[in-house]
Chain A
Amino acid sequence: MQLQHVNVKLLVQNPGGASLEPLIPVFHGWIENQDAKDELLIDVADYSHVPAGPGIVLIGHEGNYSVDNSGNRLGVRYNRKAAVDGSNQDRLSQAAREALAACRRLEAEPRLDGKFRFNGQDIEIFINDRLIAPNNAATREAFDADFHDFSRKLFRGKEYSISYGEDPRSLFTAFVKAARPFAVTDLIEALA
């Protein structure tokens, strides 16, 4: 069974203090410079007016980038739309690398004043296709080993925990939490 359309969301520190509006010119700049490797960036959609919504979305052809507030959990999210070749580990790593790279750039972006920093511990992984991965026990059983393999690699064997979303209507979601904080650059290196 293939995991495709993997989404990875890195929760940010101090979500209450962050205004989403400054992200708009930043994402426009990414389009102008076509800053995503091997991906076409197309447009920016502003949903900052929707409570607990998708926030500001940078629309791409292969994947979307966003600072997303769904579930009232603010985070930097990568949503892979195009299929990815390889193994499930390759696909999880690909989405995580893109999310981490986006997060690193947002952390370094002077116009954002450090407002979108990864909290170091909380990562959410969604499978954005209910046919591939309905949110039920069978899917959890089928993919649990994949998520653990991925998490061990990401956190270099350090302690972490995984829980899964309960609402059968929601996307299949794994909530991964590291026992201690990690820097974005460390996680990028772990996946290199």
Chain B
Amino acid sequence: MKVSNSSWAERLAGKIPESLAREIDIFETEISLRKQGKIDERLFAETRLRRGVYGQRYDNGQRHNGKTVQRLGYPSGELTKGPNTMWDAPGMQRIKIPAGGLSGQQLETLADLAEEYSDGIAHVTTRQDFQLHYVHIDDTPSVMRRLAAANITTREACGNSVRNVTACPYSGVCPDEKFDVTPYSRAMSKFLMGHPDTQNFGRKFKPSFSGCSQHACGLASMHDMGMIAVTQIENGKEKRGFEVHVGGGLGAVPYQAKLFDSFVPPEELLPLAQSISRVFARLGEKKNRSRARIKFLIQDLGIEKFKELVREERKTLPHDARWTEYIDDAEKFQESPLRPGGKAPLLGSESFQRWVKTNTRPQKQEGYTVVTIALPLGDIASDQLRSLADIARGFTRETIRSTVEQNIVLRWISQSDLVELHKALEAAGLGDAGAGSIVDIAACPGTDTCKLGISSSRGLAAELRKRLGEKNFQLDDSVVKLHIKISGCFNSCGQHHVADLGFYGVSRKMSGYAVPHFQVVLGGEWEHNGASYGLPVIAIPSKNIPKVVSRLTDRYAANRKEGESFKDFIARTGKVELKKMLEDLARPPADASDRSFFQDWGDPREYTLADLGVGECAGEVVSSVEFDLAAAERQLFEAQVALESGQIDEAGRTAYRSMLQAAKALVKIESSNIADDPAQIVKEFRARFYDTQKFFDPFAGGKFAHYLFSAHEKSAEPYTPDSARYLIDEAQLFIDAAHSCYNRISAPAHA
């Protein structure tokens, strides 16, 4: 699109590392070849994904305007950049920021690119990446070249590859850490990127580093490979190492990582990552994408067998000097301050005091503070990025990190500079208090830009932020500290499983119309590296979610025991009571003329695809099917209660029955004579809804049907706490998919 695209390669010649320059040249050639039809669209799709060039909503050339599906006539006509993905459709460029580390120059580059190729906003993700939206694919080589000249790459930011290696943003300055994990995370990022052993995965692979086990910053428990810094005494000397966890992940069904080794010395860290990569590439699922993450491989093999295979693989690796050549420097690695340490001011304005309370934390180095810049919804404007670069240069040696809470931190702020710093941040619109508090809500892009979004996660986050912000300073201290995280669908990019109050988007039908909903997920834990995952309690219409938040937080503030965490409060209250507390909010509005209920937050379009004039006959059918699906949800809830009370086998069996109930509900649409026999239900469901692909999710395909088939095959086996828990999650997704399937097949043909 930009007329200058042809000139950037020449302009930046010599300023880009040769290997990166060559790769970008190759990508540019691949773009040309795809335009000439000389590269298959699927191959090109994976090619661009591995360079961080992602699709975006409406890139199939269609957009529903609330009344009808509208065709978007892109000028390149039928040319595609992937299956069902139009060439000219705006897309997303993901930018890898290893360990979240940034310099002033890099902030300025991001600012320029956001302004020139995107919409003036750079977005920080929940994995310390940056994203630019609405980028035309023809512009991406220029974007990549300008990033590369600032020592940033987009390579393997998407696709079946090793994604951004994240790390605790407080590494090196946190009083509770064992040691600074930054150089180790950077070494792993560099080593694995483009490594031949990481090029044949069935799905993505996400590593993470944490400096301690007690805080959440590294989220080791929810990563494919999570490293936690540990030390031990060897020959009277302290030796650094890592507790390594594998097979964690959120996604549709969250898995806690399993301990692989309690102490891996630095010299074995990269060979271990390489060995794991080889085993994953060799044995990981390739065809069934819903089972292709390493967590499924580890579950299928068992952790002990997996360890054995990895250790056998380790023995076969040819020596690589890169495994150890960084270690000496890593042990000496230490950032330094720009200005002498000082004392924090005792006085200041009210807004300054509030900001100090929530946005600063002392470093282990005396006289210095880490300052968090709270970015609303993870968004920062180009002008703000440039101001932040100036501020970072003025107060620090550009010690800047992005965070998984979609914020940015400045490290090594002299405490005596806090007043001046706050003034500078306020002038840039970056001085808001509330970092890490209930108003600092994390949200994935959701229906704003993501093709998979079901509900408006950003719209809801903005609304909650506004409402909670208005009364933030009247909220109980225990409530202020809670975390809210929102995903637009079950895929968990908003990390809803590890929030105190988590939400993920689903759709339901009410009075014949599709209504945007969120599943309320409770019981998760952010601290201890995301140590436990919440479970869905009830699906509530989007427009009632603010009431859900009010009820739960009010109840917590009023009834919590001394020192009781929200997670413990949720466990003590119990799912039955929680559901009772919220179930009136799940009902449609008494006033059917209130159309706002059928719209999502921040989006005036009617959410439903259905004709407003649905006849009474269809309404009867709707009622019958909805009744059966509601019964399935009730059963699933009983399964959750059984799990909560330790009745593992009962929990597993009830979850399985809930899936059968939902499958039967769909089968009954076509054949009312279906019996209660599980084998018959599964057979009929397979023939009528799987083989015909009627049940297929537009993006996940038949993934959720496989959950039923698998549960049925294993139904005679005893359940373990893990398998019951996974089945409950899978059952929830299956039932949600049954709702979606029903919504699709009952919608008028034109919608």
Contacts and interface: CB of A to CB of B under 8 A. Distances in A.
A146 interface: no
Interface stretch (A56-64, A98-106, A137-145): A56-64
Contacts of B58: 42-43
A54 B1 CA distance: 21
B604 A129 contact: no
Contacts of B57: 43
B134 interface: yes
A93 interface: no
Contacts of B73: 40
B379 A31 contact: no
A169 interface: yes
A59 B384 CA distance: 21
7 contacts: A24-B602, A40-B75, A50-B376, A53-B379, A53-B429, A59-B119, A70-B383
B312 interface: no
Nearest to B68: A32
B335 interface: no
B3 A4 contact: yes
Q: Is the interface of B mostly helix, strand, loop or mixed?
A: mixed
Assign chain B's interface to a size class: 35 or more
Interface of B: 1-4, 7-8, 11, 57-58, 63, 65-67, 70, 72-75, 88-90, 108, 111-112, 115-116, 119-121, 133-134, 136, 376-377, 379-384, 386, 429-430, 448-449, 458-459, 462, 465, 602-605
B65 A50 contact: no
A114 interface: no
Interface in A50-98: 50-54, 57, 59, 61, 64, 66, 68, 70-71, 81-83
B700 to A, nearest CB: 23
B63 A82 contact: no
Contacts of A59: 90, 119, 134
Nearest to B448: A45
B75 A61 contact: yes
A132 interface: yes
Q: By CB atoms of chain A within 10 A, which of B2, B73, B74 has the most? A: B2
Given A28-B604, A31-B63, A31-B65, A45 B115 contact: no
A115 interface: no
A51 B373 CA distance: 13
Contacts of A175: none
Given A4-B3, A131-B4, A54 B462 contact: no
A132 B3 contact: yes
Contact of A130 (B66, B112, B134): B112
Given A40-B72, A42-B72, A131-B7, A5 B2 contact: yes
A191 interface: no
Nearest to B599: A25
Contacts of A131: 4, 7-8, 11
Contacts of A83: 1, 3
A54, A66, A70, most chain B CB atoms within 10 A: A54
Contacts of A28: 65-66, 603-605
Contacts of B3: 2, 4-5, 83, 129, 132
Contacts of B70: 31-32
A57 B384 contact: no
A37 interface: no
Given A5-B2, A82-B1, A129-B116, A50 B63 contact: no
Nearest to B379: A50
B65 A32 contact: yes
Nearest to B462: A49
Given A31-B63, A81-B1, A57 B120 contact: yes
A1 to B, nearest CB: 11
A130 B2 CA distance: 11
Nearest to A54: B120
Contacts of B63: 31, 42-43
B386 A169 contact: yes
Interface in A114-142: 128-132
A182 interface: no
Nearest to A2: B3
Query: Sorted from nearest, which 6 A-B pairs have the closest CB atoms?
Result: A51-B429, A54-B120, A25-B604, A131-B4, A53-B381, A49-B376
A36 interface: no
Contacts of B8: 131
A171 B74 CA distance: 28
A102 to B, nearest CB: 16
Contacts of A49: 376-377, 379, 462, 465
A130 B65 contact: no
A43 B134 contact: yes
A49 B460 CA distance: 13
Contacts of A43: 57-58, 63, 90, 134, 449
A44 to B, nearest CB: 8
A72 to B, nearest CB: 9
Nearest to B7: A131
A107 interface: no
B602 A46 contact: yes
A46 B462 contact: yes
Best-surrounded residue of A5, A42, A83 (most CB of chain B within 10 A): A42
B381 A47 contact: yes
Contacts of B133: 45
Contacts of A51: 381, 384, 429-430
Contacts of B66: 28, 32
Contacts of B119: 45, 47, 54, 57, 59, 64, 66
Contacts of A24: 602-604
B629 to A, nearest CB: 31
Given A83-B1, A129-B4, 17 more contacts: A4-B2, A4-B3, A25-B604, A28-B605, A43-B90, A43-B134, A47-B120, A51-B384, A52-B381, A53-B121, A53-B381, A53-B429, A54-B119, A61-B90, A71-B383, A130-B112, A170-B386
B486 to A, nearest CB: 14
Contacts of B377: 49
Contacts of B121: 45, 47, 50, 53-54
Contacts of B75: 40, 61
A132 B4 contact: yes
Contacts of B65: 28, 31-32
Interface in A22-42: 24-25, 28, 31-32, 40, 42
Contacts of B462: 46, 49
Contacts of A82: 1
